[in-house]
Amino acid sequence: MKAGFKPLFAPKTMAVVGVSLTNDSHPANVIFNKLNLRYPVRVYPVNPKGGHLLKDRVFKNLHEIPQKVDHVVIAARARHVPAIIQQCIDSKAGAATIISGGFAESGRKDLQDEITAMARAADFPFIGPNCLGIYVPDRFDTFFLPGERLVRPSRGNVALVSQSGGVLVDQMVKFAGQGIGLSLAVSIGNKAMVRETDLLGYLAADESTEVIAFYIEGFAPNEGRAFVELARKCTKPVIVLKAGKSNQGKHAVTSHTASLAGNYTVFSQVLAQHGIVEARNEYELVSFCESLGCYQQAIDGRVGIITVSGGHGVLAVDACIAHGLGVPALEEQTRTIIRQGLSPSIRDIASLGNPVDLTGSAKDDDFVAAANGMRKDRGIDSILLSLLPYSPGISSDLGARLSHVNRDLEIPMVAYVPHVEKYRMLIEGFELNRVPVSSSIEGAVLMLEALKRCQPC
């Protein structure tokens, strides 16, 4: 099936089946208008009545379209979908996304089984049904959400696969806010044909993807085992957010996408045994994706902390301990190296334990000196920077300067910086140089926890 994934994720021609000639807010129309106006694909509208949509000819069926269609988006009533799938197969279209609901999730498993059997017999891959479909930055998206309302992360190296379209879009908002870029995002809905295991195999070989994240509600019988085996063999970090932990959650999963939630406790334990990173909630998923998108190495979790505020240093220590990370004392040689590199004005007032508290009088050079000294400590395998941009001695260039230090480090560095527009240049100095930045101390600690839990990475 993998051979058929290029039309799914890199189409040059698309068709949208189900456009309305009278209702421009119809999901199919929203999808067609976005593809037609915003993306570099050739797209054709399809409606059995034919006619015109503004200046565009509406084709009565796929056979009328004058060129081969790579990817068909189906947003018609469920009862019409089998005939449309047959059109796709007969016209040799490459793949499809079925937006339409009204299948297994609403009791029509027979209808879902019918279209799946047709597609499998023809080796015709489709995403869905009952889904938002696919978003590939700068290429296309099949979401029936108006363009002006959709928050689009920039192109990046994280692939996000979700059974829920709503969760996917919400995570995209969070990713954009944290500066995390996507290679692609897929809402698979009922996953009647293309499932997590299929996408894991494809993404493991995808050159544009370095981290693979899943929001999973449930598996078919024995499918969870197959997924874990594939994830274990994958050379890229795999992150899983599993829903349906509680009994009520399991029932909600069944009504949402007709999946089997399974035994969460067993699944969670198996993930941990195989070094597959489990995110316990959406907040962790964001932090884990950002961290593993920057660093592909595992750590033991011995954290060195640099701050300008004693209180923030204490909070960072508490968060590290709560997440199973250590904050060891620095070697005497390390403290001597750092002290010698500090500005004379703070040399005698800075606290050089761990955390290293440079005080509110610290300047950019002091942070650079502390980071350079700390990286040589044999007891430290990661650095957490707590930066308060309102400190008078810190400039907007500090993120870039510390990132350059980080290029020579053999250990990962993460930063906490309040995320407001006023500090954007400082944050971008880190992000443009692949140093992850969190908007909270807790988030920065989670980034390091991900590197510890991803064994091997």
Query: What tens digit of pLDDT does each residue of 334-365 get?
Result: 999 999 999 999 999 999 999 999 999 999 99
What pLDDT is attached to residue 426?
93
Instruction: Considering only residues 413 and 257, tell me which one the structure prediction assigns the higher pLDDT.
Output: 413
pLDDT at 372 over 90: yes
Q: Is the pLDDT of residue 257 over 60?
A: no
> Has residue 247 got a pLDDT over 90?
no
CATH of residue 344's domain is 3.40.50.261
**Whether 118 and 187 share a structural domain:** no
How many residues does the structure list for the chain? 457
The per-residue pLDDT for 253 is: 44
384 forms beta bridges with 305, 414
Let me know whether 442 and 338 are in one domain. yes
Please say whether the beta carbons of 397 and 388 come within 8 A.
Answer: no
Q: What percent of the chain has pLDDT over 70?
A: 95
**DSSP assignment string, 283-300:** HHHHHHHHHHHH------
| CA angle 440–445–446, rounded 5-degree value | 95
**Domain termination site, one of 113, 128, 143:** 128
Residue 391 is assigned to a structural domain of this protein: yes
Torsion angle, CA of 385/386/387/392, rounded to 10 degrees?
-120
Q: Are 327 and 320 in contact (CB under 8 A)?
A: yes
For residue 88, the enclosing domain spans 1-128
Three-class SS of residue 408? Answer: helix
pLDDT band for position 422 (cuts 50, 70, 90): confident
318 and 388 housed in the same domain: yes
Residue pLDDT, tens place only, 109-159: 999 999 999 999 999 999 999 999 999 999 999 999 988 888 999 999 999
Helix (H) or strand (E) holding 43: strand 42-46
Residues 108 and 51 in one domain: yes
54 pLDDT tier (thresholds 50, 70, 90):
confident
Lowest mean pLDDT among 16-30, 65-79, 123-137, 220-234: 220-234
Query: What is the percent of the chain with per-residue pLDDT over 90, rounded to a whole number?
Result: 82
Neighbours of 408 (CB within 10 A): 9
Give me the sign of the Cα torsion angle 139, 207, 74, 170.
negative
DSSP letters for 135-192: EETTTEE---S-TTT---PPEEEEEEEES-HHHHHHHHHHHHHHT--EEEEEE-TT-S
283-298 burial code (b ≥16 CB/10 A, e <16): ebbbbbbbbbbbbeeb
- 114 and 176 in a single domain? The answer is no
* 446 in the same domain as 304: yes
Residue 199 has pLDDT above 60, yes or no: yes
Average pLDDT on 263-277 reads 85
pLDDT of residue 258 exceeding 80, the answer is no
pLDDT, residue 405, reads 83
Q: What is the mean pLDDT of residues 48-69?
A: 95
How confident is the model at residue 14, as a pLDDT? 98
The residue among 27 and 265 whose pLDDT is bigger is 27
**Per-residue model confidence as pLDDT tens digits over 395-412:** 999 999 999 887 777 789
Query: Is 138 inside a domain boundary?
Result: no
Determine the average pLDDT of the residues in 230-251: 79
The mean predicted confidence, pLDDT, of the chain is: 92
| 20 and 124 share one domain | yes
One domain for residues 435 and 315: yes
CA distance 65 to 430: 48
The confidence score (pLDDT) of residue 53 equals 92
Q: Do 24 and 78 have their domain in common?
A: yes
Number of domain units in the chain: 3
Q: Is residue 136 part of a domain?
A: no
386 pLDDT exceeds 50?
yes
The reported pLDDT for the residue numbered 262 is 59
The C-alpha torsion from 451 through 452 and 456 to 457, rounded to 10°, is 0
| Beta strands at 277-279 and 351-352: parallel, antiparallel or unpaired | unpaired
Assess if residue 281 is contained within a domain. Answer: yes
> Is pLDDT at 260 greater than 50 in this prediction?
no
Q: Is the pLDDT of residue 285 over 70?
A: yes
Global confidence as pTM = 0.90
386-395: average pLDDT? 91
295 and 182 Cβ atoms separated by less than 8 Å: no
Does 448 fall in a domain? yes
Domain C-terminal end among 268, 294, 320: 294
CA 438, 200, 207, 446: dihedral to nearest 10 degrees?
Answer: 10
Please check whether residues 367 and 403 belong to one and the same domain: yes
Please tell me the distance from the alpha carbon of residue 116 to that of residue 98, in angstroms, as a whole number: 11
Give the C-alpha separation, 103 to 192, whole Å.
10
Query: Which pair of structure tokens corresponds to residue 64?
Result: 């009328």
Residues 447 and 290: beta-carbon distance below 8 Å: yes
Q: Is residue 144 part of a domain?
A: no
pLDDT at 89 over 60: yes
Q: Is 369 within a domain?
A: yes
Going by C-alpha positions, the residue among 211, 215, 219 that lies closest to residue 186 is: 215
Residues 119 and 159 occupy one common structural domain: no
Q: Is 145 inside a domain boundary?
A: no
| Pair 169, 271 in one domain | yes
